[in-house]
Chain A
Amino acid sequence: EAQVTQNPRYLITVTGKKLTVTCSQNMNHEYMSWYRQDPGLGLRQIYYSMNVEVTDKGDVPEGYKVSRKEKRNFPLILESPSPNQTSLYFCASKIQARGEQFFGPGTRLTVL
């Protein structure tokens, strides 16, 4: 089954404790992105990647890092999480510029 998977689905952590949210897709898509969803703000793009080793900032990149060492994986790294990064995070992928984005199920992160 074609899908985007994220782990973990739920995470509660404390300020400053480094964490990684994994994202993997099995559709051989070149493009991958991370979004955060906050009430009243919709989805805002954090980072995106056009292919292996090619990444760029989205609208809200501060406090986040990404890497794209393999085509299928696009982990999101929070080196020193803060409470304002409490949010619902979505990973997405698409095959080309005009293609449909496929979204993962989301990761609900709480930073205390």
Chain B
Amino acid sequence: AQSVTQLDSQVPVFEEAPVELRCNYSSSVSVYLFWYVQYPNQGLQLLLKYLSGSTLVKGINGFEAEFNKSQTSFHLRKPSVHISDTAEYFCAVTSISGSARQLTFGSGTQLTVLP
């Protein structure tokens, strides 16, 4: 079984400030990790993913995330946020074993960027 915990349900931050959205996972096997973004009244869009290789992953819109296997974390960061980054962000995990069929999501973090 696998699970994902997003530690903050709401993160308010001022424009041009840095932000970190935290994600911890639990799994008995190795995993692939994802961050998705959901803008208001829209579906989910992939921000970035970790499959293997370098633990620092760069995604779209200036976001990056670092995979830390010992701490089972995959925190999302951006050095300077914009108003347009206001959205809900979801961390997700799927096991490497088998066909990686089941994708488990965290409960989401609402990022609100303030002017």
Contact = CB atoms under 8 A, between A and B. Distances in A.
A41 to B, nearest CB: 6
For the residues of A in contact with B, the DSSP-based class is strand
Contacts of A43: 44, 90, 92, 105
Of the four ranges (under 10, 10 to 19, 20 to 34, 35 or more), the interface on chain A belongs to 20 to 34
Nearest to B92: A43
Interface residue range, chain B: 20 to 34
A20 B66 CA distance: 40
Nearest to B109: A42
Interface in A34-62: 35, 40-45, 48, 50, 56, 58-59
Contacts of A92: 44
Interface string B42-60: 1111100101000000000
Interface of A: 4, 31, 33, 35, 40-45, 48, 50, 56, 58-59, 90, 92, 97-98, 100-101, 103-106
